[in-house]
Amino acid sequence: MSEPAKARPKVPDGYTRYAVTRQKEPNEKGFVGYEMIWEPFQKEIPYQTPKRP
């Protein structure tokens, strides 16, 4: 029987509403990882102290 291929196929980037998944380069052991890049869910605004009564 033939051995499985050593090289992993390149996976396209996965896009969702709030995240992007990208395939990393294989390390010296051949492990291929993935990274998640998250978009912010809500907008941050600077805090302003309320007026004194």
Structural domain includes residue 20: yes
Residue 3 located in a structural domain: no
Query: Per the domain annotation, does 34 fall within a domain?
Result: yes
Number of domains making up the chain: 1
List, in sequence order, every residue forming a beta bridge with 20; answer none if it has no partner.
15, 37
Q: With respect to residue 53, please indicate whether it lies within any of the assigned structural domains.
A: no
pLDDT class of 26 with cuts at 50, 70, 90: confident
**How much is the pTM?**
0.57
Assess contact for 21 and 34: CB atoms under 8 A: yes
Domain that holds residue 25: 9-40
Domain-embedded: residue 17? yes
What's the rounded mean pLDDT across residues 41-46? 90
Does residue 4 lie within any of the structural domains?
no
Residue 24 lies in a domain: yes
HSE, side-chain direction, 13 A CA sphere, residue 49: 3
pLDDT of 12 reads: 92
